[in-house]
Structure 1
């Protein structure tokens, strides 16, 4: 037993130094972890203040519900935009007018041709022919830029001008 006491006495300083070193390493790790926890707590408190939510789980559930509502609203807006685009394609939004003197007589350019078409070049051409005694207005329907009625050069020109518009 005395030999055991001698071995323990000889090795005691090594054990104490080893344990002291381990305790110092653990103390440093404890200080670092405490600093990290304090930093996380400050961030958590900053995030949770002012939103009326008591815990992180409630906040996440609330954010998820808001995200779902936004997605639904976005789907509704997308549907509305698509419907508006379909309507816009069919609208007669391209208009061109050309004034001219139809009979070559003296006077001003009182005659005109006006094309009102959509993106598919469908619509109508209105032509007003004015002379000294009378004024005549003609309407010719268009499908794909063509009409079942003969088109004058001025009417073809206004159809081309209207087609070039964006």
Structure 2
């Protein structure tokens, strides 16, 4: 019976020793986790210090709202830029002018033909004919660089000058 008591005592001692080792290991793990948690808390507090909010969720919601606002403003600017580009294509930005003497027997180069074209060569050609007694001004519409009205050689030259200006 004494042997049985000794055997039980030894087993209890081994079990107690194993439990002590297990408790020691768990204590070390708890200490390590506590240190890591403390470091993480310090990093979190440093990150949140200048944000003006109390928690990360509020910060993320605030950032999401700001991002949405920036995206809305960017969309407005994109639409505005498209409208500006469309208007710019339609503006009469190509110019060609030809001065000449319409009446070779009198005067000088006071007559002119002026072509104003947009990006698609739509626009107008103005001609001013000047002589000693009077002046006349004519306007002819242009679509893709041509007119349904007959163009004089000087008007054609003004249109070509405007087209070349657009290619530069």
Counterparts of 2:41 and 2:76, CA distance in 1: 40
Tell whether 2:90 aligns with 1:66. no
**How has the CA–CA distance of structure 1 residues 151 and 57 changed in structure 2, closer, same or farther, with 3 Å as cutoff?**
same
Query: In 2, Cα distance between the equivalents of 1:65 and 1:8?
Result: 64
2:52 partner SS: coil
1-structure distance, mates of 2:119, 2:56: 54
Contact 2:96-2:161 within 8 A present in 1 as well = yes
> For 2:137 and 2:75, how far apart are their aligned partners in 1?
48
Residue of structure 2 equivalent to 1:136: 136
RMSD between aligned residues: 3.5
Cα–Cα, structure 1 residues 47 and 136, in superposed 2: closer, same or farther, change >3 Å? same
CA deviation profile, 1:76-111 (whole Å, cap 9, x unmatched): 222222333333332222222222334446865322
How far apart, CA to CA, are the structure 2 residues paired with 1:36 and 1:101?
94
Say if 1:43 and 1:153 are closer, same or farther in 2 by CA, change over 3 A: farther
TM-score normalised by the chain length of structure 1: 0.71
Q: How far has the Cα of 1:73 moved from its partner?
A: 2.2
Distance 1:36 1:6 in 2: 39
User: Structure 2: which 5+ residue stretches go unaligned?
Assistant: none
Q: CA deviation at 1:37?
A: 3.7
C-alpha distance in 2 between matches for 1:36 and 1:104: 99
Q: Is 1:80 aligned to 2:68, yes or no? A: no
Give the 3 Å change call, closer, same or farther, for CA 29–95 of structure 1 in structure 2.
farther
Match status 1:158 vs 2:154: no
> Distance in 2 between the 1:55 and 1:7 partners?
53
Alignment-derived partner of residue 114 in structure 1: 114
Structure 2 CA distance, aligned partners of 1:28 and 1:138?
97
Mapped to 2, the partners of 1:103 and 1:36 lie a distance apart of 98
Matched, 1:96 2:100: no
- Deviation string 1:54-79 (CA, Å, 9 cap, x unpaired) is 11111111111222222222222222
Quote the residue 1:53 is aligned against: 53
Return the alpha-carbon distance in structure 1 between the equivalents of residues 106 and 30 of structure 2: 104
Superposed displacement of residue 48, structure 1: 1.5
Alignment TM-score, normalising by the size of structure 2: 0.71
Cα 1:39/1:3, change in 2 over 3 Å: closer
